[in-house]
Amino acid sequence: MEIRKLEVTEHQECRRLYEEVFAEDSPSFVDYYYTEKTRDNQIYTMIEDGEIRSMLHLNPYRLYVNGSEKDVNYIVAVATQKEYRKRGYMASLLKRSLRDMYQAGEAFTFLMPASESIYQPFGFRTVYEQEGKFYREEDEKDEGLAITDAKDPDCREIAEAANRYLAGRYQVFAIRDTAYYLRLIREYESDGGSLKVYRRDGKITDCRGYYPGEEGGKPKIMIRIVDVRRMLMALSLRSLTGVVFCVTDPLIEENNRCLVVTGTEHSGVMLMDGDAKNSEGTVTVAALTSLLFGAKTVEEACEEEGVRMSERMKAEMEKLIPLSAICLNETV
């Protein structure tokens, strides 16, 4: 058994496993994925008996996070060949990729789970339900709207309009550029759909996907903090704050530390290493993820196993402004 991170020139070697495990994906979509997405992603594999038996892909995104830009990986295509399941391969790949992301300086990672229960033991928590808006025929009834299929020359204009819209409404979202929409057009086309552009008086007002047939439900997005210090430093504060607490993380050893969190509404979070004997409580990395991304209140986080906070710590943690306005509607 060997974990191996594939070279870019080797990425096609795991396509057979993808097609076997994700048989519901159309051949044209798989063509798109292995033409577009594997050009710049990272693929971790488990080798057994000389063949790839399990894999995990890290697809890179540039995210807007509370006013700054961060490189974040979207974990996708987590798959194990049926005959090799229940051997801990997925757990090993997750742990290795999380440690590598920590070393690369990433604050957090996200994924769309087949089942939330699979990833909860690894510190992932559900923080968002996707809100994808899709084209409907009745949209055409608005005489003031001009709706057309997006073409490559439209991509820059679409990206500029989308970033303006998203920045005014969300704390966390994938930053759009020309390449983002060029890929998205190919993604919709791969399954017989298209990307629709809505214009009013010549200006873009919306952009929606279209697939023939019915659209699905609202997929969930789970997030896991990768680097606790970098994550906390991305936050804003409601008012003068000062608190000392310990963080526990069973997978990333460097996150197990005592921290002094200080700052004001003007400075944002400032950090120092603290002394455990002065700690006012303990927070697991999973509970901290739920708290910092607005999935749970301080009181709700305290109900999780392994979490303890003094009353003063609770009051200070309430001063952290969570990143609850999230828009992560990416598929792969």
In this prediction, residue 165 carries a pLDDT of 96
Q: Give the pLDDT score at 81.
A: 98
What tens digit of pLDDT does each residue of 298-326 get? 999 999 999 999 999 999 999 999 999 99
pLDDT in tens, 230-280: 999 999 999 999 999 999 999 999 999 999 999 999 999 999 999 999 999
Percent of the chain with pLDDT over 90: 96
DSSP labels for 245-271? EEEE-SS-GGG-EEEEEEEETTTEEEE
Query: How many domains, the chain?
Result: 3
pLDDT at 12 (0 to 100): 98
For residue 332, the number of C-alpha atoms closer than 13 Å in the C-beta half-sphere is 21
CA dihedral 37, 38, 39, 44 (to 10 degrees): 130
pLDDT at 49: 93
Q: 206 and 236: one domain?
A: no
**pLDDT tens, 159-186?**
999 999 999 999 999 999 999 999 999 9
Asked if residue 97 and residue 8 are part of one domain, the reply reads: yes
Q: What is the pLDDT of residues 127-136, one digit of tens each?
A: 999 987 899 9
Q: Which helix (H) or strand (E) holds 161?
A: helix 155-167
Query: Quick one: 199 and 257 in the same domain?
Result: no
| Prediction pTM value | 0.96
Token couple for 152: 């490559």
Of 302, 298, 292, residue with least CA distance to 326: 292
Q: Are 51 and 141 in the same domain?
A: no
Q: Please indicate, yes or no, whether residues 196 and 258 belong to a single structural domain of this protein.
A: no
More confident residue, 216 or 19: 19
Same domain for 15 and 95, yes or no, is yes
Q: Does 98 fall in a domain? A: yes
Residues 202 and 232 both lie in one domain: no
Domain membership of residue 242 as a residue range: 228-321
Same domain, 233 and 204: no
Task: Identify the pLDDT of residue 215.
Answer: 65
SS3 207: strand
pLDDT digits (tens, 9 = 90+) for 79-93: 999 999 999 999 999
